[in-house]
Amino acid sequence: MLRGALVEENLDPILIQVTIPLPIAMIHAAFLEPARLRGWLCDDASVEPRVGGAYRLTWTGDPAFASPGTITQLTPEVDLGFRWYAPPAFAALLNEPEPRTSVYVRLQESPEGIDVTLEQSGWGAGEAWEEARSWHFHFWDERLTKLKAYLIHEAYG
């Protein structure tokens, strides 16, 4: 390596947390049951709740896209990991030849309820990766806020 050459480091994972004052089983189900996923995350879903099972999410809005992922980790009422396919604007960067980022969700009891921590990792380096990471950060931040509101409404009306 040349002395003084700049080496870009991969970007840090996205890490977002929300606390939901509801039973852990209800929150975990919101990540695995298609009807509940449609309530806060996507327009359609197909889930095979087992490691290696399908975790397919579809959006019909803007941008419209499908994420035909796979569950990589699953512990009832504890965590969920899945491969993540990005929307069309980032498909060439993030999806080819296979998904380059993955999502991991961990549920943990806290004094205020259940801490839901989402981590999306696998980011590269450079301006295009920064743009993709920023879009995904805002996407997940919005969706986890929507998850909390959806579940509270589901529980209390």
Paired strand residues for 84: 101
CB 80 within 8 A of CB 31: yes
Domains and CATH numbers, the chain: 14-156 (3.30.530.20)
- Cα–Cα distances in angstroms (integers) from residue 48 to residues 32, 45, 70, 72, 125, in the given order: 8, 10, 9, 11, 33
**What pLDDT, in 10s, does the model give residues 104-144?**
999 999 999 999 999 999 999 999 999 999 999 999 999 99
Contact between 109 and 19 under an 8 Å Cβ cutoff? The reply is no
Which two tokens mark 106? 């961990």
The reported pTM is 0.92
User: Percentage of the chain with pLDDT > 90?
Assistant: 88
Give the residue-averaged pLDDT of 56-73: 93
- Give the pLDDT of residue 1: 47
